[in-house]
Amino acid sequence: EAQVTQNPRYLITVTGKKLTVTCSQNMNHEYMSWYRQDPGLGLRQIYYSMNVEVTDKGDVPEGYKVSRKEKRNFPLILESPSPNQTSLYFCASSLSLGQSYEQYFGPGTRLTVT
Amino acid sequence: AQSVAQPEDQVNVAEGNPLTVKCTYSVSGNPYLFWYVQYPNRGLQFLLKYITGDNLVKGSYGFEAEFNKSQTSFHLKKPSALVSDSALYFCAVRDAAAGNKLTFGGGTRVLVKP
């Protein structure tokens, strides 16, 4: 089944404790992206990657890191999480960055930072 | 800068009645417009898109959307709503002039009552 998977689905952590949220897709998509969803703000892009070893900042990259060493994986790293990073995070992928391609989303990771 | 507005936080409709979810956009170039739906505890699912051509676009689950260039709108419609259509709906726009960035609206919650 074609899908985007994220782990963990739920995570409660404390301020400053480094964490990684994994994202993997099995559709051979070139383009992958991370979003955070906050009430009333819709989805805001954190980082995106157009292909292996090619990443770029989105609208809200501060406090996050990403890497794209393999085409299928795009982990999101929070080196020193803070309470304002409490949010619902989504990974997404699409065939390419072309305008007409829709994105496929993972199930989401609900992160709470205390 | 591109933007998307969904003026209604919530839309309530009785089952069997027509459903409309409003979306207006602002871009500097030609818009590529998308609708996504999010069911509880799930990721976003693609519903439909407008790239070019016919202004009336048909998508999944009986939804359709009408692109109106003069009003810069892309309203989502369904002739007869189902209780199972209750979900959070997001409009998104991609502007080639802005590096193909995808910008989401704040979302509209749809509640269909039996």
Contact yes or no for B51 and A43 at CB 8 A: no
Give percent of chain B with pLDDT exceeding 90. Answer: 75
- Return the residue matching tokens 């996504």: B36
Compute the nearest-CA separation of B50 from chain A (Å): 8
| Cβ proximity of B46 and B32 under 8 Å | no
Which of A43, A90, A99 comes nearest B51 by C-beta? A99
What is the C-alpha separation between A83 and A75, in angstroms, rounded? 20
**pLDDT for the residue numbered B28:** 83
Contact yes or no for B34 and A102 at CB 8 A: yes
Single-letter amino acid, residue A49 = S
Q: Kindly give the parts of chain B with pLDDT less than 70.
A: 96-100
**pLDDT for the residue numbered A97:** 66
**pLDDT for the residue numbered B100:** 63
Higher-pLDDT residue of A8, A100:
A8
- Return the residue matching tokens 């301020």: A15
**pLDDT for the residue numbered B97:** 63
Average pLDDT on A59-80 reads 96
**pLDDT for the residue numbered A87:** 97
Residue-wise pLDDT for A36-68, tens only, equals 999 878 899 999 998 899 999 988 999 999 999
**pLDDT for the residue numbered B99:** 58
Helices (H), chain A: none
- Residue B72 CA to chain centroid, in angstroms? 13
Single-letter amino acid, residue B111 = L
Residue-wise pLDDT for A12-43, tens only, equals 999 999 999 999 999 999 999 999 999 878 89
